[in-house]
Amino acid sequence: MFSGIVESLGTVAEIRQEPPGCRLIVREPRIAAEAAVADSISVNGCCLTVVEVRGETFAFQAGPETLSRTNLGDLKPGSPVNLERSLRVGERLGGHFVTGHIDDVGRLAERRDYGEWSHFWFELPRRLSLQMAPKGSIAVDGVSLTIVDSEPDRFSVALIPYTLAVTTLGPIKAGDKVNLETDVLAKYVQRLVEARQWT
């Protein structure tokens, strides 16, 4: 379980093919110094398990399902990634409950910059819009954000200068893919509504 508050930007050091998946090696000295094999770390919002720690790097194994259903399959050596270690019981929850299980990939449709501030519109599969509402929560590449507007095929968020500076969202441009995870509470509400139609 995560909060959507990115701890650090890491850098992809290497991608080693391990068919049918790959080994994703990330460099971030501070997190590497405290990481251990079997730890859960959110990488662009995707919960992955540490399989190796070596010096300033730590590695994950990503299978074909993960690579095809998230933007992790598009990463290259040198790509920045958002990193967050799993929550400890008793810690403050600064964002919202994020599981690290990506629902789908969205695309940045429109970006409006106002000085150091930005307003983004993302396109998404319509089925996810049922789990979204204005002032609700969404994790975009693992970043906990508040939804400004929600329409059937898109939603918008407003980003402060700090978020743009310390996450991968700062440099993205129209057409770029992002990992989306809707609010887990909204998933259960939708399921309860659907279950009323069961016979």
Chain segment 163-175, per-residue pLDDT in tens: 999 999 999 999 9
Percent of the chain with pLDDT over 90: 95
Span 14-45, pLDDT tens digits: 999 999 999 999 999 999 999 999 999 999 99
Span 95-147, pLDDT tens digits: 999 999 999 999 999 999 999 999 999 999 999 999 999 999 999 999 999 99
Please state, in angstroms and rounded to a whole number, the distance separating the CA atoms of residues 9 and 16.
20
pLDDT reported for residue 93: 86
Residue 7 and residue 91 in contact, taking contact as beta carbons nearer than 8 Å: no
pLDDT reported for residue 8: 97
Q: Which residues contact 119 (CB under 8 A, 6 or more apart)?
A: 111, 112, 148, 156, 157, 158, 159
Q: Which residues contact 27 (CB under 8 A, 6 or more apart)?
A: 10, 11, 12, 13, 56, 57
pTM for the full predicted model: 0.95
Position 90 confidence tier, pLDDT thresholds 50, 70, 90: confident
Please state, in angstroms and rounded to a whole number, the distance separating the CA atoms of residues 94 and 143.
11
CB atoms within 10 A of CB 9: 15
User: What's the gap between Cα 154 and its chain centre?
Assistant: 17
pLDDT reported for residue 107: 98
Position 89 confidence tier, pLDDT thresholds 50, 70, 90: confident
Please state, in angstroms and rounded to a whole number, the distance separating the CA atoms of residues 111 and 62.
30
Please state, in angstroms and rounded to a whole number, the distance separating the CA atoms of residues 74 and 24.
12
Token pair for 65: 């399902």
Residue with tokens 């695309």: 107
Sign of CA dihedral 145, 87, 164, 153: negative
- Distance of CA 23 to CAs 20, 60, 61, 111, Å? 11, 6, 5, 33
For residue 199, pLDDT over 80 is answered with no
CB atoms within 10 A of CB 55: 10
For residue 162, pLDDT over 80 is answered with yes
Sign of CA dihedral 48, 6, 188, 123: negative
Residue with tokens 């906990």: 144
Helix (H, G, I), strand (E, B) or coil at 119: strand
- Domains with residue ranges and CATH for the chain: 8-85 (2.40.30.20), 104-195 (2.40.30.20)
For residue 51, pLDDT over 90 is answered with yes
